Amino acid sequence: MIEEAAKLLARSRFAIAFTGAGISAESGVPTFRGFNGLWKKHRPEELATPEAFRRDPRLVWEFYKWRMDLIRKAKPNRAHYALAELEEMGILKAVITQNVDDLHREAGTRNLIELHGNIFRVRCTSCGYGEYLKESGRLEEFLREKDLPRCPDCGSLLRPDVVWFGEPLPRSALDEAFRLAERADLVLVIGTSGVVYPAAYVPQIVKETGGKVIEINPEESGITPIADVFLRCPAGEAMEKLMTRVKGLIG
Ligand code: NAD
Ligand code: ZN
């Protein structure tokens, strides 16, 4: 199976990757299922919604600050680095991710499409203000602050710049993802349950336009039925083996 996947990848002309929470599991970032019970017995689905934020912004901000703190201590793993290396080698053209954890960027991926936002970005609930806390150097201060975060321009509440359940995806990121999917002759799908739409259309578009689908996941997912090669394995281990074979093939 690894050999087959390596051949497809080495032969491809325009490969992309589509990733979900599972690629970050080995970095210690829990998948949504893993979050259950981890934080005050709330399910993420009850906290990551516009309704929850309207009802109780303090609770939602407490949850997000807890996650930001957890995620900022996480490091990219072998799978994130392998994708950055495949891009460097000219094989991979883009990574489309549903993750908000910034680990692809940390690993060095350059052409990154974030479909569900980024947990280190905040934006104003009223005006156009936005801030990337890693870049502005305010992350520590932001996490320490006990009051609700306010917009420096207009004083309204700030919110995490992530896509909540029931919200539309950022139009430009989604358009770019679909454009890439139409062009791609191969998609490497890693660690996603493939049931969150419209993101899950990405591998389907690749398949429908004649491209190959390689999936890496220790469990079957919504993508498995359309996978040409299914590597039933954790992401880090699978990507390490795959990289060794790809390098062997292209010499
Ligand atoms: P999901 O939780 O629905 O599915 C995770 C998938 O990863 C599962 O299919 C699971 O079998 C697989 N998996 C578990 N461990 C793995 C490993 N070591 N290697 C490879 N695969 C592994 O996550 P999803 O499909 O990304 O969709 C849920 C939503 O949750 C997304 O929209 C995302 O924004 C959000 N989310 C993001 C993060 C993050 O940024 N790291 C974490 C949790 C949830
Ligand atoms: Zn504002």
Tens of pLDDT, residue by residue over 201-238, are 999 999 999 999 999 999 999 999 999 999 999 999 99
State CA 147 to chain mean position distance: 29
State CA 156 to chain mean position distance: 28
Tens of pLDDT, residue by residue over 179-202, are 999 999 999 999 999 998 999 999
116 is catalytic: yes
Cα atoms found within 13 Å of the Cα of residue 164, Cβ hemisphere only:
16
Query: For the chain, where do the domains classified as CATH 3.30.1600.10 start and end?
Result: 44-73+121-162
Q: Which residues line ligand 1 (CB under 6 A)?
A: 20-22, 24-26, 29, 31-33, 98-101, 116, 191-193, 196, 216-219, 221, 234-235
pLDDT for the residue numbered 45: 81
Tell me, in angstroms, the distance from the centre of ligand 1 to residue 99's CA: 8
Q: Which of the four pLDDT bands, split at 50, 70 and 90, describes residue 37?
A: low
- Token pair listed for 248: 């062997």
Tens of pLDDT, residue by residue over 110-156, are 999 999 999 999 999 999 999 999 999 999 999 999 999 999 999 99
Pick the CATH number of 2-29+76-116+169-250 from 3.30.450.20, 3.90.1150.150, 3.40.50.1220, 3.30.540.10: 3.40.50.1220
The mean pLDDT of 5-24, rounded to a whole number, is: 97
Residues 6+ away with beta carbon under 8 Å from 111: 87, 93, 94, 95
Give me the CATH topology for the region 44-73+121-162: SIR2/SIRT2 'Small Domain' (3.30.1600)
* Ligand 1 atom with the shortest distance to the CA of 115: 34
Tell me, in angstroms, the distance from the centre of ligand 1 to residue 28's CA: 12
State CA 18 to chain mean position distance: 8
Residue nearest to atom 31 of ligand 1 (CA): 98
pLDDT for the residue numbered 251: 78
